[in-house]
Structure 1
């Protein structure tokens, strides 16, 4: 499990450099979340949360962290990537990779949303996508949703493509539990 976790975290880090889009205040579209979600669904909640935390730490160190102080570093990296491991709640479930992807991504979105409302509120009023926002809540919802929803879709598409050929692996049937 430990070796597989290290490989999945490393794969996620490498995939994080494939940026399909990058936003000005942090956030990007990448296929990076999928290996963490896959690991979580395969091994369970605690290992998944640890993999998500480790990936968040690597993102903070190597991805040129966009942060407004230590609070932002904590929330937007260490705390935000950890909930990807919530996918582990669906370990061994037939369609767990899909539900786990949605739950893990939703957990990450919630943390980014909280960060946007509490830390980035100093940017209000601000303009994003040709809209002017005076509400930190609305801004955080739109800003974080603009990359988290597509990232969730990317992870779901990867899961759909790999589900049939990797079904035994995803469900952990090769582990001989």
Structure 2
């Protein structure tokens, strides 16, 4: 099979970034102090499995910058370092890691398992980013009497775990459609 040109892959990446931005607008659940359940991660995960982690990470990084422009919340950062932590953990790393899903799914030969595991791992890394940010920069929002780590974990897990499940289920269902459309056999993405 002829390899797609860079132009085709760039267009596909741009479409997936745009689709993620649009899907971010349709919230299934909105948390009171930020965070929501959407299907916005699905296109980025699909791109990673369809084109490999290099293209997935590039598109997800671009998406992270777009998210900062569209929905940046001014953090209660008292120092430049704390402000940088919010930029990195709540946006850049948290969204960019979605593009590495195929890297984490690569050890699994079965395409369904590969997509499900890769999606879950990057979603858990994203949860870890938000948890860490919650424990450091956003800790002033912790209700009195709650341990900071417990509040950050429970708050972020409330929306990120359901989003992980939704993203994994949709990615598994849609990757098979994408593979059939692309003429691929059901196998892990080549990098």
What is the alpha-carbon distance in structure 2 between the residues aligned to residue 113 and residue 101 of structure 1?
18
Larger CA Rg, structure 1 vs 2: 2
Aligned residues: 170
Please, which of 143, 149, 155 is the counterpart of residue 137 of structure 1? 149
Segments ≥4 residues shifted beyond 3 Å: 167-173
Partner of 1:77: 91
Match of 2:170 in 1: 158
Q: Please, what is the CA RMSD of the aligned residues?
A: 2.7
Aligned partners of 2:46 and 2:175 also within 8 Å: no
Structure 1 residue 168, shift from structure 2 partner: 3.7
Residues 15, 31 of structure 1: 8 Å contact kept: yes
Per the alignment, residue 4 of structure 2 pairs with none
Task: Find the counterpart in structure 2 of residue 59 from structure 1.
Answer: 67
- Structure 1's 170 and 147: CA in aligned 2 closer, same or farther, altered over 3 A? farther
- TM-score, normalised by the number of residues in structure 2: 0.78
Question: Structure 1, unaligned stretches of length 5 or more?
Answer: 127-131
Alignment TM-score, normalising by the size of structure 1 = 0.84
Higher RCO structure (Cα 8 Å, ≥6 apart): 2
Q: 1:140 and 1:172, CA in 2 relative to 1: closer, same or farther beyond 3 A?
A: farther
The residue aligned with 1:129 is: none
How far off its partner does 1:61 sit?
Answer: 0.7
Query: Is the Cα–Cα contact under 8 Å of residues 45 and 56 in structure 2 kept in the other structure?
Result: yes
- The equivalent residue for 2:23 is 15
